[in-house]
């Protein structure tokens, strides 16, 4: 099971730039389904989001299809809920060769 997560204290802007550099050349779809959210108090919660995604490397001719779960923690800051941690666990990944697209 592959895992990806953002370490506590990580510079969010730097993380977003790393993800953007990886994702920009791809065609992607990403779906989150039926979350289970549990309130842990007035200002804390946890959530599990089943997910499915497709990533296509058009020029190279590869497609990845995957499923898994996002496990998140949330905190309320000045009345607004914020994600405080996020971890992706993959259950299934299938990579296949497809015709390259221009």
Q: Which of 86, 41, 34, 93 is nearest to 67 (CA)?
A: 93
The percent of residues above 90 in pLDDT, for the chain, comes to 73
- Domains of the chain: which residue ranges? 3-97
Residue 34: pLDDT band with limits 50, 70, 90: very high
Q: CATH second-level architecture of 3-97?
A: Roll (3.10)
Q: Which residue has the tokens 């779809």?
A: 29
- pLDDT at residue 15, rounded to an integer: 80
* pLDDT over threshold 80, residue 76: yes
> Which H/E stretch holds residue 102?
none
Instruction: Summarize the confidence of residues 31-49 as an average pLDDT.
Output: 97
């Amino acid at each position: 099971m592959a895992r990806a997560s953002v370490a506590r204290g990580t510079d969010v802007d730097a993380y977003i730039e790393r993800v953007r550099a990886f994702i920009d050349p791809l065609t992607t779809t990403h779906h989150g389904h039926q979350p289970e959210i549990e309130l842990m108090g007035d200002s804390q919660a946890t959530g599990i989001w089943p997910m499915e995604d497709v990533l296509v490397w058009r020029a190279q001719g590869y497609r990845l299809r995957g499923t898994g779960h996002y496990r998140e923690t949330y905190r309320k800051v000045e009345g607004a809920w914020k994600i405080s941690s996020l971890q992706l666990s993959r259950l299934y990944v299938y990579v296949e060769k497809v015709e390259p697209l221009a």
